[in-house]
């Protein structure tokens, strides 16, 4: 078991030839008592749900609240015109993230990674990486176990809950997990993956959780899109050899401190931020009366 990213890297290098996914599988066997076969089967099911949620989210259907729906399809149509400003990879990740979260808002099945409100980041980055890197199913599963390992440290030392630490703890953690896994899927080391985590979290420090009408739709859906795009930029920075002046475990500690300091209005209560704007309050009244 590891309790910091530093320990994670040391244990992966010393016992698993740098393979974080194998370390995570061994840790899960230790914690859950399940067999290796059972753990891989469960992760395979998660993988299938993630892929399906991307595909099912690419529709014009709106959520029951009417707040979201159809934006993934709009971005998909825009991409197909071939006149985009951003790179195809980045936009594909943004589209897929929106798709997953719109599917969630329509009561579709998603894999909470690490939460339902941030469920779009990891599947979006993974499905885009499958095309970009040509990942096999085994490599796709390794991607998820790697993300889970780094996510376990974040959850234990900071938070993955918007109610506890703001959206930095939800989309921030999800994007950081995706960035780390992407870095290693592209051939990077565990140390480089840890730097990608730094870049994401430092960029998202202080991000509040302010869901309009208390629903995980606005601004959550589009934050997932931005989080997925951040993961690719962070991974590239890490693979380029750029490093963080602040060690990764200190960055995670800082996220915890910032989250603990946020007023309750900015922690999923729908009492501050965008939820408290005139339009935000009007939408809440329209939905709930």
Q: How confident is the model at residue 126 (pLDDT cuts 50, 70, 90)?
A: very high
Rounded CA-CA distance 285/282 in Å is 5
Per-residue pLDDT at 186:
98
Q: Are 209 and 258 in contact (CB under 8 A)?
A: no
Q: How confident is the model at residue 246 (pLDDT cuts 50, 70, 90)?
A: very high
Tokens standing for 139?
């490599």
Q: Which residues pair with 209 in a beta bridge?
A: 267
Each residue's pLDDT tens digit, 135-185: 999 999 999 999 999 999 999 999 999 999 999 999 999 999 999 999 999
Work out the percent of the chain whose per-residue pLDDT is above 90.
100
CATH of the domain at 270: 1.10.4100
Tokens standing for 38?
């059972």
Q: Are 188 and 208 in contact (CB under 8 A)?
A: no
- How many domains are there within the chain? 1
Could you tell me the pTM of the whole model? 0.98
Can you give the residue range of the structural domain that contains 239? 5-288
The two most distant CA atoms of the chain are separated, in Å, by 59
Residue 189: pLDDT over 90: yes
User: With left for phi above 0 and alpha for psi between -120 and 50, is residue 109 left, alpha or beta?
Assistant: beta
Distant-in-sequence, close-in-space partners of 165: CB < 8 Å, separation ≥ 6:
158, 159, 255, 256, 258, 259, 260, 262, 267
Residue 289: pLDDT over 90: no
Each residue's pLDDT tens digit, 52-105: 999 999 999 999 999 999 999 999 999 999 999 999 999 999 999 999 999 999
Q: Are 9 and 194 in contact (CB under 8 A)?
A: yes
Tokens standing for 24?
């995570």
């Amino acid at each position: 078991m590891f309790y910091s990213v530093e320990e994670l890297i040391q244990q992966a290098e010393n016992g698993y030839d740098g393979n974080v996914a194998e370390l995570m599988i061994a840790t899960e066997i230790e914690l859950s008592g399940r067999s290796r076969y059972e753990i891989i089967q469960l992760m395979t099911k998660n993988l299938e749900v993630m892929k399906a949620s991307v595909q099912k989210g690419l529709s014009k259907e709106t959520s029951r609240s009417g707040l979201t729906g159809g934006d993934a399809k709009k971005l998909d149509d825009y991409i197909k015109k071939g006149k985009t400003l951003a790179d195809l990879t980045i936009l594909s990740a943004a589209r897929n993230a929106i798709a997953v979260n719109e599917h969630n808002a329509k009561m579709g099945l998603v894999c909470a990674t690490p939460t339902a409100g941030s469920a779009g980041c990891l599947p979006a980055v993974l499905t885009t990486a499958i095309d970009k890197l040509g990942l096999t199913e085994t490599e796709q599963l390794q991607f998820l176990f790697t993300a889970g390992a780094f996510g376990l440290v974040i959850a234990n030392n900071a938070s993955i809950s918007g109610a506890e630490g703001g959206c930095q703890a939800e989309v921030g953690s999800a994007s950081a997990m995706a960035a780390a896994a992407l870095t290693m899927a592209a051939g990077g080391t565990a140390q480089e993956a840890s730097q990608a985590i730094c870049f994401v979290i430092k960029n998202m420090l202080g991000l509040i959780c302010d869901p309009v009408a208390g629903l995980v739709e606005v601004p959550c859906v589009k934050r997932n899109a931005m989080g997925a795009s951040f993961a690719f930029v962070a991974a590239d920075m890490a693979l380029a050899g750029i490093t963080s002046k602040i060690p990764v475990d200190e960055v995670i500690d800082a996220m915890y401190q910032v989250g603990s300091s946020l007023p309750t209005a900015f922690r999923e209560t729908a009492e501050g931020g965008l939820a408290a704007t005139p339009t935000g309050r009007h939408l809440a009244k329209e939905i709930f009366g």
